[in-house]
Amino acid sequence: MSSKNKELLSTVMKRTSEWIFSQEIPSDVTVHAGGVSFSLHKFPLVSKCGYIRKMVSESSDADLSEIKIPNVPGGAEAFELAAKFCYGINFEISTENIAMLRCVAESLEMTEDYAVGNLVSRTDAYLNEVALKSLAGAVSVLRLSENLLPMAEKVKLVSRCIDAIAFTACKESHFSVSGRSDSGNEVVISSIVSQPKPIVDWWAEELTVLRIDNFQRVLIAMMARGFKQYALGPVLMLYAQKSLRGLEAFGKGRKKIEAQQEHEKRVVLETIVSLLPREKNVLSVSFLSMLLRAAIYLETTVACRLDLEKRMGLQLGQAALDDLLIPSYSFTGDTMFDVDTVQRIMMNYLDSEAEGNRFGYRADDEFGATLQCDMERVGKLTENYLG
């Protein structure tokens, strides 16, 4: 069918649907969707819904009066809006409903094959021209898409939101210029010299509402666009502080957390640790200590805990006494300090010192003086810890 004839047919169907609605003609079909029954008319539905058209045409019952649509994305609310669209009833498309509208439109096959300006193309246009133009809009749509899987992934709604967020964040940030050294010497030196402390950008707070898997995908997409990994530190700190809030990793007694919540927080923590920048001095020791306490409390993987211990060891010269007073929980409900963990942190520090000495730094060198100063601070810290 030519585009002109298709457009003419769509106009006729729209007017007919509006006439059916205005005349209050008795319904001839009941649609069960999202646990709710809708009394509707076949004509408006088959004029725009490929899925329902196929069900009607393939039915052995010439007077099909009941249609069941399982697993409607967005449930009854989404189907009701799709039905209104079929009848030509006006309603507002917004960032609050665009995700479920796009998914239900795909599920019901409301494409241009059945009507010009159908719901799939309308929702795509809104996404491109409005919702994904701002960071807040893209984050809102992505968050709502979390409840619309797997359809949201199928229609690439999730990936489009992630790309839009990564693009805006990189555009607004001062840390999106790519660059990495492959020189072995420079890698060691960069691990000793303090990296610049990045300021938290305005968009970082927006990302804290995302589920951890989508948060991770956003950060990976940002790095693919050239965002500096060391600048992720403040973003990860914000997310960790918000998602691990309320965790009694500093208290005494038995755990006061349900198994499901414990599992969710464990996944969050292990993912955050996997994303931490590799550069030295980007994160504070107090933050690393907080993560380590939480890792012990949540019983994360051994690799996760050892990673945090190594990071603390590399920056032990910056630690305060409180950073090493890490509680160790026992099944009896008693709490004591975890000496074994602190011993491993100390060993990591000594290993890093030995590696520095292998490069022949002298006390009168800049880096040698830094190592010497660090050693004095660690010595005093150890005395205080033993005391």
Question: Which residue's structure tokens are 């950008």?
Answer: 201
Going 330 to 333 to 338 to 341, the CA torsion angle's sign is: positive
Percent of the chain with pLDDT over 70: 76
Residue 82 banded pLDDT, cuts 50, 70, 90: very high
Distant-in-sequence contacts of 341-347, Cβ < 8 A, 24+ apart: 341/292, 341/296, 341/305, 341/309, 342/385, 344/306, 344/309, 344/313, 345/309, 345/312, 345/313, 345/316, 346/313, 346/316, 346/378, 346/382, 347/313
CB 123 within 8 A of CB 157: no
Mean pLDDT computed over 243-268: 73
- Please state which of the ranges 18-22, 266-270, 353-357 shows the lowest mean pLDDT: 18-22
Rounding to the nearest 10 degrees, give the CA dihedral for residues 305, 307, 313, 318: -90
Six-digit token pair at 375? 């050693």
Residue 19 banded pLDDT, cuts 50, 70, 90: very low
Mean pLDDT computed over 5-27: 54
d(CA 75, CA 48): 19
CA 334 to chain centre: 36
Beta-bridge mates of residue 39:
30
Six-digit token pair at 34? 């999202």
Evaluate if residue 52 carries a pLDDT over 70.
Answer: yes
pLDDT of residue 188: 32
Where is 328: in which H helix or E strand?
A: strand 327-329
Percent of the chain with pLDDT over 90: 34
Q: At what angle do helices 285-298 and 233-243 cross, to 10 degrees?
A: 40
Q: Residue 344 carries which side chain, given as an amino acid letter?
A: R
Largest CA distance in the chain: 95
Q: How buried is 384 (Cβ within 10 angstroms: 0-12 exposed, 13-18 middle, 19+ buried)?
A: exposed
